[in-house]
Amino acid sequence: MDGRPHRSLRALVPLLLLLGLLAGCATPQPVLELRRDPGGLPPKTELANVPFFPQEDLWCGPAAIAMVLAWSGLPVTQEEMAAQVYTPGRQGTLQTDILAGARRNGRLAVEVRDLRALLTELAAGNPVLVFQNLGLASIPQWHYAVATGYELDPASNLILHSGLDPRRVTPLGTFERTWARADHWALVVTGPDRLPATAALEPALGAALGIERAGRVPDAATAYETIAARWPESFGAWMGLGNTRFALKDPAAAERAFRKAAEADPTAPQAWNNLAYALAEQGRRAEAIAAAERAVALGGANADPYRATLQELSQAPSS
């Protein structure tokens, strides 16, 4: 649950059955498009290596995040995750807390917003944490589950770890409707050395930054390195890698990353400014001053921070 007022799932079963009957006639457009053009998706896939934690009462959020974290290699329980993400006063778990919980544990967490991308992640071997409204907009029944597989032929179904059911088979059209009523929110959670199959550069960088801000600097460094391997032209990936390597007291690795950042964007003064610090940390004062001077030259009207760096390094005693 996401913390909004709710009734128990048992109490709502008759209503949900009725809603399913009322909504079962029209097939949602995304499902029709997948039937017309699977786009290279295999006809079916199911992940057998996703742990299942039967949900404790009101703990669908903690159970779901615990399952994907455990799949990613982190030994956690839903009780441990409830302490991190569950809000007793709201009797539920907010999406922002799910996201923060993944990043606090050093995991890349990237949102998935359309059905084709969701199935693509499953085909790539990644379970997907999904958020559903099993009721209606006016009578919401919020629920988290974990998608572990799908079938496109001969039937169109999604397979879920959901509630107390380790293999809930749901018609794809029914899932799409319940997912749409929850604004198509879903999350792929992977280790920092594995990118979601459908991740774009900017969301991936945002996920790595989230890990860094959560204080998991070694995991953030691994995430930036993984992103740089997929997008070697990314200035942001190399800068993030340089900053985290520097924070981990590895100035030589930071230097390499900042030089890559400067190659990715030769006009960016930030790369040269940070490179100056990495060089200075290695006792290479003359090179550091030259890099700082380059940052000042590139900074133009916004060069004041880089002048401060140059002044600091110029006044530092020679080693």
Sign, Cα dihedral of 117, 119, 125, 127: positive
**What per-residue confidence (pLDDT) applies to 20?**
46
Give the Å distances, CA to CA, from 255 to 61, 161, 165, 229, 292.
Answer: 41, 45, 51, 17, 13
Fold of the domain built from segment(s) 201-315: 1.25.40
User: In angstroms, what CA-CA distances link 257 with 131, 154, 225, 285, 286?
Assistant: 38, 50, 9, 19, 20
Q: For position 44, what pLDDT does the model report?
A: 96
Averaged over 6-35, what is the pLDDT? 57
Percent of the chain surpassing pLDDT 70: 92
The pLDDT of 75-84, averaged and rounded, is: 97
Which residues of the chain does CATH 1.25.40.10 include? 201-315
In the chain, the amino acid numbered 275 is: L
More confident call, 292 vs 20: 292
Q: Which tokens is 314 given?
A: 């110029």
Kind and range of the H or E run holding 151:
strand 142-151
Position with higher pLDDT, 99 vs 317 = 99
Write out the residue limits of the CATH 3.90.70.10 domain(s) in the chain.
9-190
Cα–Cα distance measured from residue 50 to residue 45, given in angstroms and rounded to the nearest whole number: 13
119-160 pLDDT per residue, tens: 999 999 999 999 999 998 889 999 999 999 999 988 899 999
Burial label for 87, CB within 10 Å (0-12, 13-18, 19+), is: middle
Is domain 9-190 given the CATH code 3.40.50.2300 in the classification?
no
Element spanning 130, H or E: strand 128-133
Whether the pLDDT of residue 109 is over 50: the answer is yes
145 has which bridge partners?
130
pLDDT for res 317: 78
Which of 238, 289, 285, 245 has the alpha carbon at shortest distance from 264? Answer: 238
How many Cβ atoms sit within 10 Å of the Cβ of residue 171?
17
Q: What is the mean pLDDT of residues 78-94?
A: 95
Q: Tokens representing 246?
A: 């520097």
Mean pLDDT for the stretch of residues 5-19: 42
Average pLDDT over residues 3-27: 46
pLDDT (average), residues 89-110: 96
Beta bridge partners of 44: 151
